[in-house]
Amino acid sequence: MKIRKNAYFVTGGILSGILMAVILTGFFWTPYSTTAMNAAEKMKAPSFRHLLGTDNFGRDVFSRVVSGAGTSFLIALMVVAIGCFFGILIGSLCGYYGGIADLVLMRICDTITAFPAILLALVIISVVGGGSGNIVIALGILFIPSFARVVRTQFAVCRSQNYISSAKLMGVSGPRILFFHILPNTFSVLLPSVTIGFNNAVLAEAGMSFLGIGIQPPQASLGSMLKDSQTYLRSAPWYALGTGLAVVLLVLAFSLLSEGIQQGSRRQ
Amino acid sequence: MKQLGKKLFTLIITLLIVSLLAFLAFQIIPGDPTTKMLGTNATPEKAAQLRSQLGLDRPVFVRYFEWLLHFVRGDLGISYTYKMQVSEMLSDKLPITVLLTVLSFLLTVLIAIPLGIAAGRIKNRWVDHAVLIADQLLMAIPPFFFGILACFLFGIIFRFFTPGNFIPPSEDLGASLSYLLLPALSLALPRIAMTVKMLRGSIQDELTQNYVYTARSRGLSQWGILRRHVLRNAMIPVITFLAVSAAEIMTGTIIIEQVFTIPGVGRLLLSSIGSRDFPVVQAIVVIMAAWIVIVNFAADLLNFLIDPRRRAG
């Protein structure tokens, strides 16, 4: 596979590598405290002391962006994990066994995907209430159909292939065929879906937190910071610009990666 | 004609299911709305009285059909918080959101389709890369950050408009539209990028098909082939995608109205979620869901007209 030479894959890989390194470091150490307020340093423009300036409480924006990106990253990761796990489970069973259950479940999946995630998430959140746990569960459930669809298609193709018939004749058990024989063959299509899903999760969480129904203070995510920063757009524009740029970089890195992977698998 | 009837039937069934789900979603809410409405002076007797007054003591399905009948007649229920008709609350907000959605969707179509066709016709490695990079960048910027950037650049630095100073369309349609232009563009930009990417790929795939060579050997002009043969096929997936875009734009207004402080349905929805004013939330969700179902139906219908294979099969 020549994917390592693909410019998009390489750029996306390097960019996401750097971002992950910064985010991981941010879990343990940030240049300044993310919560301690400092009245003397209120709304200072970017400088060498504060790379992205300070906010209305004198907190270092860069430190807060790093930890906010960490929150957004973790939430997106959990959303994709939930969506992927149940998506694989439902998709594999539906694709392999087919039948009425398959028809019904896929019809439901199609209906869910027809509605924008944010609308459904808003309904769920307005019923069960906000907060990071509920956001993860709501978005996680809404992300199941897209994964289930992709996995199902692959399983439906694979089940009639010779190596599966041979495995069946050799007496390999159903679950073993599903998860050890077919599942590895779906990874090439699953991988781009995972990166795209991750991006959608980052954007959905940012949107919800921006609306004030996602992450609740004092916890900060990129979305909730963008919401706060909008008030100070006139007096401290670096706050909004720095935070927004972090969202863009995070999404861009992973979308370049997925574009590279897709181009690579198309050429094969 | 028979298929058209079948499609209409599916549309109605889908609308019914969606409305039922939206209705049920708000029935499983923990807590009784009466305790909230009565506040501190709630007694069991008063609560029971209010419950029967609101009709909450009857079976769920009876209440669903009653609610549905009222809904299609334009009676969307009464707000818990403001004690007024939801339809009245929506009457001056819905036109604003519809205007914003339509404007944004028109921008998407009018910009993306010509750009996509132009990009699809050019076969050049550097153009390929330029289009792809521009697409990736635009898709990575969430609409609300576009909105914040637009507020900063055009509102604060260049002073083309005052963020928050929205003039309702009933007062001055022109001023209203010009205020809505930037929010509409913020919503449209990522969708434009995605549509261009898709249309371009779709056209390039079609151009390698045998029928294109046949048409060319018959002496048809490049543009003629594109217009009469290639575009018809290439547009099919794009039309379906545009329906998705219309849905995304409609719900995107919830966020973008917040950025540009536009007094539309989205802002009402948020404040109603905050105050747990469920009749309002329910009405807005059902209206948005109905819009999405109908837009998808329209796209399906359009494809049906374009693609003779579907009419035959």
The domain locations on chain A are 3-29+59-267
Q: Give the three-state DSSP class for B276.
A: coil
pLDDT in tens, B113-150: 999 998 888 878 888 888 888 988 999 999 999 999 99
pLDDT of residue A247: 93
Q: Which of residues 200-259 of A touch B (CB under 8 A)?
A: 203, 206-207, 210-213, 226, 229-230, 233-234, 237, 240-241, 244, 247-249, 251-252, 255-256, 259
pLDDT in tens, B274-288: 888 888 988 999 999
| Bridge partners, residue B85, by sequence | B78
Q: Give the three-state DSSP class for B112.
A: helix
- HEC readout, A58-107: CCEHHHHHHHHHHHHHHHHHHHHHHHHHHHHHHHHHHHHHCHHHHHHHHH
How far is residue A86's CA from residue A78's CA, in Å, rounded to a whole number?
A: 12
Inter-chain residue contact A125 with B273, CB threshold 8 Å: yes
What is the share, in percent, of chain B residues with pLDDT greater than 70? 93
Is the backbone peptide bond immediately before A218 cis, with ω within 30 degrees of 0?
A: yes
Question: Which residues, given as ranges, of chain A have pLDDT below 70?
Answer: 1-3, 267-268
Burial class (CB in 10 A: 0-12, 13-18, 19+), B28: exposed
Q: Which of residues 252-271 of B touch A (CB under 8 A)?
A: 252, 254-255, 258-259, 269-270
Q: Which of residues 9-68 of B touch A (CB under 8 A)?
A: 14, 17-18, 22, 25-26, 28-30
pLDDT in tens, B245-254: 999 999 999 9
Considering only alpha carbons, which residue of chain A is nearest residue B134?
A252
- CA distances in angstroms from B308 to B106, B234, B235, B303, B313, listed in the order given: 27, 14, 13, 9, 9
How far is residue A188's CA from residue A180's CA, in Å, rounded to a whole number?
A: 15
* For range B256-269, the mean pLDDT: 92
Cβ atoms of A118 and B251 within 8 Å: the answer is yes
Inter-chain residue contact A127 with B289, CB threshold 8 Å: no
Q: Given CB atoms, is B285 within the 8 Å cutoff of chain A?
A: yes
State the pTM of this model: 0.88
Contacts of A260 in chain B (CB under 8 A): none
Cβ atoms of A259 and B132 within 8 Å: the answer is yes
pLDDT of residue B19: 87
Report the gap between the CA of A263 and the closest CA in chain B (Å): 12
Report the gap between the CA of A164 and the closest CA in chain B (Å): 33
Nearest CB to B289: which of A115, A128, A210?
A115
pLDDT in tens, B151-172: 999 988 888 888 878 888 888 8
Inter-chain residue contact B156 with A237, CB threshold 8 Å: yes
pLDDT in tens, B22-47: 888 887 766 666 666 666 666 777 77
CATH 1.10.3720.10 fits A3-29+59-267, yes or no: yes
pLDDT in tens, A118-168: 888 888 888 887 778 888 999 999 999 999 999 998 888 888 888 888 888
